[in-house]
């Protein structure tokens, strides 16, 4: 969550790096940037040096993450990760929240998620594969994110572990590991489960995500 002052500071840092962007709206609720984002990256000898016209919205004083709108339809809408809603489909919010658990950083977010998004799009158009993997959407994407974070081997067991963390409020290393291995937590997934007991912000993210999963399951998405 950014305060208005933080947001203004971070925006001015970003505008020094991304000189094609400028502030198009600034209020206590959100700051909007518009213009050309410059992407300059190379991966496996595949270079992208290109400008993309975007609108970048930074919510202020809210849990909502910033998002990007493709205002000139540069992303082909047959691309599997074109949009969620009207926003460009960046990484799952869980990964981004955890990445910035100690404080959001706009410059880093633009580099690691927005620029990478456009790079991935060009790479996919050229080679038909995702250079850095991909995530499913909605519920499945959330569970995949935890599967990786918790080092669990499948989605079903990941849900079991998520439910365990959400309902058992104190860390108990001697409990059977909820991954289904029949080992004790401390000699199984303890290393990955423990951080959720040591950092209440992580637990809050997991609790919110689990609720989101239940909500989507109920709506039958």
Under the rule (CB under 5 A), what is the footprint of Zn ion? 81, 89, 177, 179, 181, 188-189
Nearer to Zn ion, 60 or 179 (CB): 179
Tell me the closest approach of the beta carbon of residue 81 to Zn ion, in angstroms: 3
**50-67: b or e for each residue (b if 16 or more CB lie within 10 Å)?**
eebebbbbbbbeeeebbb
Of 56 and 161, the one with the shorter C-beta distance to Zn ion is 161
CB of 21 or CB of 114, closer to Zn ion: 114
The CB-of-15 to Zn ion minimum distance in angstroms stands at 28
* Closest to 90 in 3D by CA, of 118, 117, 55, 72: 117
* Least distance in angstroms from the C-beta of 138 to Zn ion: 10
Q: Which is nearer to Zn ion, 60 or 159 (CB)?
A: 159
Nearer to Zn ion, 53 or 81 (CB): 81
Instruction: Please write down the HEC assignment for all residues of 60-98.
Output: CCCCCCCEEECCCCCCCCCCCCCEECCEECCCCHHHHHH
Could you tell me if 153 and 161 are in contact, meaning their C-beta atoms sit under 8 angstroms apart?
A: no
Distance in Å, CB of 106 to Zn ion, minimum: 21
DSSP label of 29: S
From the CB of 84, what's the least distance to Zn ion, in Å?
6
Can you read off the two tokens belonging to residue 186? 């401390």
């Amino acid at each position: 969550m950014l305060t208005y002052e933080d947001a203004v500071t971070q925006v001015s840092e970003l505008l020094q790096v991304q000189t094609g962007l400028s502030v198009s709206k600034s209020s206590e609720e959100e700051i909007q940037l518009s213009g050309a984002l410059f992407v300059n990256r190379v991966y496996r000898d595949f270079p992208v040096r290109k400008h993309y016209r975007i609108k970048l919205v930074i919510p202020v004083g809210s849990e909502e993450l910033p998002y990007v709108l493709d205002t000139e339809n540069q992303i082909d809408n047959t691309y599997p990760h074109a949009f969620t809603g009207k926003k460009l489909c960046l990484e799952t919010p869980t990964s981004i929240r955890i990445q910035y658990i100690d404080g959001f950083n706009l410059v880093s977010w633009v580099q690691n998620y927005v620029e990478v998004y456009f790079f991935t799009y060009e790479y996919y158009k050229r080679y038909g594969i995702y250079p850095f993997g991909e995530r499913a959407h909605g519920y499945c994407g959330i569970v995949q994110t935890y599967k990786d974070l918790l080092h669990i081997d499948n989605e079903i067991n990941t849900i079991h572990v998520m439910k365990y963390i959400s309902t058992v409020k104190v860390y108990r290393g001697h409990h059977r590991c909820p991954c289904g291995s029949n080992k004790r937590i401390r000699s199984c997934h303890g290393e990955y489960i423990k951080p959720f007991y040591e950092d209440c912000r992580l637990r809050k993210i997991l609790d919110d995500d689990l609720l989101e999963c239940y909500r989507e399951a109920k709506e039958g998405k």
